[in-house]
Amino acid sequence: MKLTDKKRMQILDAAEELFHSSGVEHTSMDQLALQAKVSKRTVYNHFATKDALFQAILQRMFDKLAEGGEVRFDATQPIEQQLRRIAQDEVALLSSAAFLRVAKIAIMQVMQRPELAQHMNNSSLGCKRYIDNFLTDACTAGVLHIADIPFAGKQFIYQLKSFVFYPSLFGLEQQTPAQQAHIIDEAIALFLARYQSKPG
């Protein structure tokens, strides 16, 4: 790897770390160069302004998160098991350090500069990408009965977000894996109590 690429990576790593721990505003470019073990001039050779660096960080973090498999409905499997799979993936994402970092940075910026709100929200992550298709297939197969599928999908995801994501984001609590499992079980129980097709 060329030296310049290595330096660039050091800068991005340091920015990710510092923007997360101290916030964009509270991170000075001197501090950042120090942490990156790079001269400040080198930072500016790679990124014209602090804002350009911030945009690059955001992009890189989104790219890292874009990966992740899709769960497709399978009529031969119990619905409860498939929902658990979806929820486990989602909780793993929502509680991952990488996701919390980018979310914290992005949300702080959005709250400070509301005009950037919709620009951020466009990118779709995690199970949000495929859950509508999944639920549609499950309804078609007669396993679920849902009148408003996008709404029901939100109800499911919001359960997980509310218990797992926001408390971590605001620095209140972290969940143990056992607690996470309980949250998932209860979210599924709530969802199926409402939407699972009853025999007869």
Partner DNA sequence: ATATATAAACTACACCGTGCAGTTTACATG
Partner DNA sequence: CATGTAAACTGCACGGTGTAGTTTATATAT
Residue 178 contact, options DNA, a second copy, none, Cβ 5-8 Å cut-off depending on partner type: none
Distance separating alpha carbons of residues 86 and 14, to the nearest angstrom: 33
Q: Which is nearer to a second copy, 11 or 103 (CB)?
A: 103
* Spatial distance between the Cα atoms of 47 and 45, rounded to a whole number of angstroms: 6
Q: Rounded distance, CA 95 to CA 104, Å?
A: 12
Token couple for 141: 């197969």
H helical segments located in 37-176: 40-46, 50-66, 79-94, 97-112, 117-121, 131-140, 149-160, 166-169
Site string for DNA, 147-186 (x = CB under 7 A): ----------------------------------------
DSSP alpha helix (H) spans, 141-196: 149-160, 166-169, 177-195
**23, 54, 89, 137: residue in contact with a second copy (rule CB under 8 A):** 23
Q: Quick check: 169 binds a second copy (CB under 8 A)?
A: yes
For DNA, the closer of residues 42 and 133 by Cβ is 42
Q: Is 42 in the site for DNA (CB under 7 A)?
A: yes
Could you give the maximum distance between any two Cα atoms of the chain, in Å? 73
CB of 190 to DNA, least distance (A): 46
Q: Which residues bind a second copy (CB under 8 A)?
A: 22-23, 25-26, 104, 107-108, 110-112, 114, 117-118, 121, 148, 151, 154-155, 158-159, 161-163, 166, 169-172, 186, 189-191, 193-194
